[in-house]
Amino acid sequence: MLRKLVRFQFCTIQDQIKKQQNSYSNITDKIIQYVGRDLHKIPSHPLGIIKNRIQTFFENDAITEKQSKYPLKYKIIDNLSPIVSVKQNFDSLLVPSDHPSRKKSDTYYINENQLLRCHTSAHQVELIEKNIDAFVVVGDVYRRDEIDATHYPVFHQVEIVRIFQQDQFSSKYLQHQIQESMDDLKETLERLTRHLFGDVQMRWVETTFPFTNPSMELEIYFQDKWLEVLGCGVIHQDLMKNCQRLTEVGWAAGLGLERLALLLFQIPDIRLFWSQDPRFLDQFKSGQINKFQPFSKYPSCYKDVSFYVDHKTWEENDLHSIIRDIGGDLIEKVECVDTFYNKKKDLTSKCYRIHYRSLERTLQNEEIDILQFKIRDQIKDLLKLELR
Ligand code: FA5
Ligand code: MG
């Protein structure tokens, strides 16, 4: 028994993934290295500082007048494994079977049934089923997404859910209850935003999610652009029914921690959160929000790669994945700089520009060439594309 226990303790989450991976998996070793780093649990890391601020808000100040009849304490949950089932991540949330987010080009699968959660909403149903009516889930999430200053394949989300009792509504009509829930949702999130930012320019944009109706996104004005920081909505009635909560109504929201941290600390690049450089880490203290002082940027350089694709089957994320796997954090940005259709070949020519920059040192041209050659080789070998 003891031996079993000891062995269990030494089986890291990374071992667990590797053990369950099969030929279906599209998770690279680079991605596995991020699992378990738990940046949101480090109190002096910008993500930990914001997570703690959000936690304090939900522990102390989040009860709106509407909620005050049953002032539930929000339960804070930050230790759920990022390994979830297809059922948790998609089916339970009413995500249609042909939804693009299910594709291997978008999600990191361990095998046919298990994956690295692509959002903290993966835990909604199991917690609602346990009759937890006010909760906050914090965790790392994984997506095969584009790479730029505000997107990264691993990031952190905060999920917030609040479900009401019938007698908290002023009307017995579902449509009115949905409207009242929506109002409470907006009030709560606007208060949270002011708790974090003080005064800031924000706007609500209508959107759709399979598991909420109606659905909204909140955007904040950042570096001369509107930046989406969260998605939310009134929990779909079919989802509540599936949880055996036939008559209840409530709301859910999912925030991106990095997006909030970029704004609050004025950090210019999402890759910095993963930096181990003391010039980054030493700038932050538990409980304190201060403006990030950029240290001198090392020079960047770019290399182009061109190839032919069949536009009917082309999945750009497969390219991003190869580049990220080979170049890791040395990749600053990947952009398509040229596209044209070649009628004779019935193929589309694409040219991608890969920008390289280290946050920690000046890169040598030779080492970039090695990476670029590896990328070219894998485009040929793995994607079976003809280079130009
Ligand atoms: C979702 O993930 C929904 N689960 C949110 C939700 C929860 C809706 C509950 C309704 C009810 P979305 O894919 O838009 O939605 O992501 C939510 C937030 O995560 C975004 O607003 C953004 O802040 C952050 N985010 C998304 N992709 C990335 C990325 N690649 N890098 C960093 N942050 C990201
Ligand atoms: Mg979105």
User: What is the DSSP code (8-state) at residue 36?
Assistant: T
d(CA 125, CA 376): 43
| 383 within a domain of the structure (yes/no) | yes
- Within this chain, do residues 187 and 248 fall inside the same structural domain, yes or no? yes
Mean pLDDT of the chain: 93
**Which residue's CA is the nearest one to ligand 1's atom 26?**
256
| 242 within a domain of the structure (yes/no) | yes
**Which residue's CA is the nearest one to ligand 1's atom 2?**
119
| 289 within a domain of the structure (yes/no) | no
Which residues have a beta carbon within 5 Å of ligand 2, which is an ion?
Answer: 231
pLDDT of residue 7: 52
| 237 within a domain of the structure (yes/no) | yes
pLDDT of residue 208: 97
- Within this chain, do residues 113 and 246 fall inside the same structural domain, yes or no? yes
- Within this chain, do residues 94 and 243 fall inside the same structural domain, yes or no? yes
User: Per-residue DSSP letters for 79-127?
Assistant: ---SEEEHHHHTGGGT--TT-GGGSTTTS-BSSSSEEE-SSGGGGHHHH
- Within this chain, do residues 329 and 244 fall inside the same structural domain, yes or no? no
Ligand nearest to the CA of 216: 1
pLDDT of residue 11: 86
Ligand nearest to the CA of 145: 1
Q: What is the CATH number of the domain that holds 379?
A: 3.30.70.380
pLDDT at 223 over 90: no
- Within this chain, do residues 164 and 307 fall inside the same structural domain, yes or no? no
- Within this chain, do residues 241 and 95 fall inside the same structural domain, yes or no? yes
- Within this chain, do residues 330 and 246 fall inside the same structural domain, yes or no? no
Q: Please check whether residue 261 is in contact with residue 267, taking contact to mean a CB–CB distance below 8 angstroms.
A: yes
**Which residue's CA is the nearest one to ligand 1's atom 12?**
231
Of 320, 363, 32, give the one whose Cα is nearest residue 148.
320
Ligand 1 geometric centre to CA of 217 (Å): 9
- Within this chain, do residues 150 and 242 fall inside the same structural domain, yes or no? yes
pTM of the shown model: 0.85
Ligand 2 geometric centre to CA of 284 (Å): 28
pLDDT of residue 2: 55
Burial class (CB in 10 A: 0-12, 13-18, 19+), 324: buried
Q: Please check whether residue 354 is in contact with residue 372, taking contact to mean a CB–CB distance below 8 angstroms.
A: yes
> CA triplet 274, 382, 30: central angle to 5 degrees?
20
- Reported as a single tens digit per residue, the pLDDT across 282-336 is 999 999 999 999 887 789 999 999 999 998 999 999 999 999 999 998 999 999 9
Please identify, among 216, 249, 265, the residue that sits at the C-terminal boundary of a domain. 265
Map tokens 């109606």 to a residue. 214
- Reported as a single tens digit per residue, the pLDDT across 44-78 is 999 999 999 999 999 998 888 888 888 889 999 99
pLDDT of residue 221: 87
- Reported as a single tens digit per residue, the pLDDT across 192-222 is 999 998 888 999 999 999 999 999 999 998 7
Ligand 1 geometric centre to CA of 208 (Å): 12
The count of structural domains within the chain is: 2
| 275 within a domain of the structure (yes/no) | no
pLDDT of residue 142: 98
| 147 within a domain of the structure (yes/no) | yes
| 291 within a domain of the structure (yes/no) | no
- Ligand 1 neighbourhood includes 142 CB (under 6 angstroms): no
d(CA 26, CA 248): 39
**Which contacts (CB < 8 Å, 24+ apart) does range 363-371 have?**
363/298, 363/299, 363/301, 363/330, 365/301, 368/301, 368/303, 368/330, 369/303, 371/326, 371/327, 371/330
pLDDT at 150 over 90: no
Ligand 2 geometric centre to CA of 125 (Å): 20
- Within this chain, do residues 234 and 322 fall inside the same structural domain, yes or no? no
Ligand 1 geometric centre to CA of 101 (Å): 12
- Within this chain, do residues 196 and 343 fall inside the same structural domain, yes or no? no
Residues contacting 246, CB < 8 A, separation 6+ = 240
- Within this chain, do residues 259 and 381 fall inside the same structural domain, yes or no? no
Q: What are phi and psi of 253, to 5 degrees?
A: -145, 150
Of 324, 317, 316, give the one whose Cα is nearest residue 371.
324
| 127 within a domain of the structure (yes/no) | yes
Range of the domain at 329: 301-387
Q: What is the CATH number of the domain that holds 83?
A: 3.30.930.10
- Within this chain, do residues 252 and 312 fall inside the same structural domain, yes or no? no
